[in-house]
Amino acid sequence: MITRDQVMPMLLAACPSFERPWRDYVRDPTYHETLLYIHFSEFARHLIHLKKANETTEFGAVFAVVELLHTTGDPYVSEAATIGLLESLQNTAGDRGLDPELFYSHLQPESAKWWAKLNAYWNGDATALRK
């Protein structure tokens, strides 16, 4: 099982363009290594930046890792992959003038299932995020 401390090294390996933003983020005095949901928010902003710049060459590797987080992550990691990363992508993309659904085509099956569940939840289905 993938644990919380393995997640960011996996994503950094899949997305080398995030190394510099990650180093800057880690230097921030508010950084705390255990706040995976906040790390995912930073990572989502980077992915949105890449998508807006049409620089998606790393997306295959990135979303393969996201799929692994959903399928082989411990319960905390798999939930964080949905609520921390996918939901951050959806909300932040929209806030930054980018259609969040542009990310859907990059998702693998389990991640796509959770993306759809998030959409259903935000469209009023309070039970959508139950496993």
Q: Is residue 93 in some structural domain? A: yes
Residue at 70 is within a domain: yes
Q: Give residue 73's identity as a one-letter amino acid code.
A: G
pTM of the predicted structure, to 2 decimals: 0.94
User: How many domains, the chain?
Assistant: 1
3-class SS of residue 31: coil
pLDDT at 130: 83
- Asked whether residue 129 is assigned to any structural domain, the reply reads no
Q: Say if residue 104's pLDDT is above 90.
A: yes
Q: For the beta carbon of residue 32, count every other beta carbon within 10 angstroms.
A: 9
Residue 70, Cα to own-chain centre: how many angstroms? 11
**74 located within any domain:** yes
Q: What pLDDT digit, counting tens, does each position of 26-85 carry?
A: 999 989 999 999 999 999 999 999 999 999 999 999 999 999 999 999 999 999 999 999
Q: Is residue 9 part of a domain?
A: yes
Domain hosting 61: range is: 4-14+35-122
Q: Assess if residue 25 is contained within a domain.
A: no
Asked if residue 131 belongs to a domain, the reply is: no
Q: What percent of the chain has pLDDT over 70?
A: 99
131 pLDDT above the threshold of 70: no
- The answer to whether position 26 is within a domain reads no
Task: Give kind and range of the element (H or E) at residue 99.
Answer: none
Q: Tokens 């099956």 identify what position?
A: 109
